[in-house]
Amino acid sequence: VAVNRGGRIAWAIRKGLPRFKASVNQYVGKIKKGTLEGNIAFKNYYQSRRWLKNPLEPNELRKLDTVVEHMKQYGERYGWDWIAVAAQAYQESELDNSKVSPAGAVGIMQLLPSTAAHKPIEIKNVRALENNIHAGVKYLSFLRRHYFDDPDIAPAARVDFSWAAYNAGPTRIQRLRKRAEKRGFDPNRWFGHVEHMASESIGRETVDYVSGVNKYYVTYKFALGRQEQLLKQRRERAEKAELAKHQQALQAWKRSYSLRRK
């Protein structure tokens, strides 16, 4: 989602901090384009990242329209917000059910057929769209219920951990939670805590994955909320127009009735 186009970006520093300003200027000079540190920073933070697409472009929304009913159906069955399912599916495949990963994961939810066919999922033919969505949501539900059911974990964090486990494996995420606790972080929070352990141990993949799904979720949620608000406003305007029409008809009838009595 573009916030601004063609603008300039700069540091903003509070007045009265000349030493801090000098330090920032010195650092910016060290990491400018073409310097050793600048090239390393660019490679680490730009070239290695998967850039987010805009899921609200017309073509992307048309793809969402073709799968939304299955997401609502299985989201309701397993207690998952269908918008969260849509966000994860967009992160996984950009809603492309024909996608096959180099590791053999297939479909819109990028599941291994072998994983889906056995317990706890037990759904075959996950190349079929509905089966793929069903298997993905069922697996998410299993991860949340089996690994992250601790009452000390907030509901939103349980979802974050489930997404992380979907990407990196539940056993690995549990180990990272234990490591986080030993290091003084909160093992029951992903953002700002366990994600640091994931970054050190796994690299950026799982960190970017959970972050990306959350960003798509917020984008979908905002857009759908805005759409519902517009529909509500249209209904209210239509109801007001209909009420005004009835009131005009009533007034006309009253005038006609009054004239007949005279």
**Residue 31, phi then psi, degrees to nearest 5:** -110, 20
Q: Tell me the pTM.
A: 0.71
- For residue 27, what pLDDT is reported? 80
Give the CA distances from residue 40 to residues 29, 196, 255, in Å, rounded to whole numbers and listed in that order: 14, 20, 83
**In this predicted model, what pLDDT tens digit does every residue of 185-195 receive, in sequence order?**
999 999 999 99
**In this predicted model, what pLDDT tens digit does every residue of 197-208 receive, in sequence order?**
999 999 899 999
User: pLDDT at residue 72 above 80?
Assistant: yes
Per-residue confidence band for 249, with pLDDT thresholds at 50, 70 and 90: confident
CA-to-CA distance for 87 and 211, rounded, in angstroms? 11
Q: Can you read off the two tokens belonging to residue 95?
A: 């809603």
Q: Which stretch of 82-86, 100-104, 197-201, 243-247 has the lowest confidence by average pLDDT?
A: 243-247
- For residue 255, what pLDDT is reported? 67
Per-residue confidence band for 235, with pLDDT thresholds at 50, 70 and 90: low
**In this predicted model, what pLDDT tens digit does every residue of 107-162 receive, in sequence order?**
999 999 999 999 999 999 999 999 999 999 999 999 999 999 999 999 999 999 99
- Region 232-246: mean pLDDT is 68
- For residue 234, what pLDDT is reported? 66
- For residue 145, what pLDDT is reported? 97
CA-to-CA distance for 229 and 45, rounded, in angstroms? 37
Please state which of the four CATH numbers 3.40.50.10320, 1.10.530.10, 2.40.30.170, 3.40.50.720 is assigned to the domain occupying 58-223.
1.10.530.10
Among candidate residues 77, 201, 191, the one with its CA nearest the CA of residue 141? 77
CA-to-CA distance for 128 and 230, rounded, in angstroms? 35
Per-residue confidence band for 54, with pLDDT thresholds at 50, 70 and 90: confident
- For residue 250, what pLDDT is reported? 66
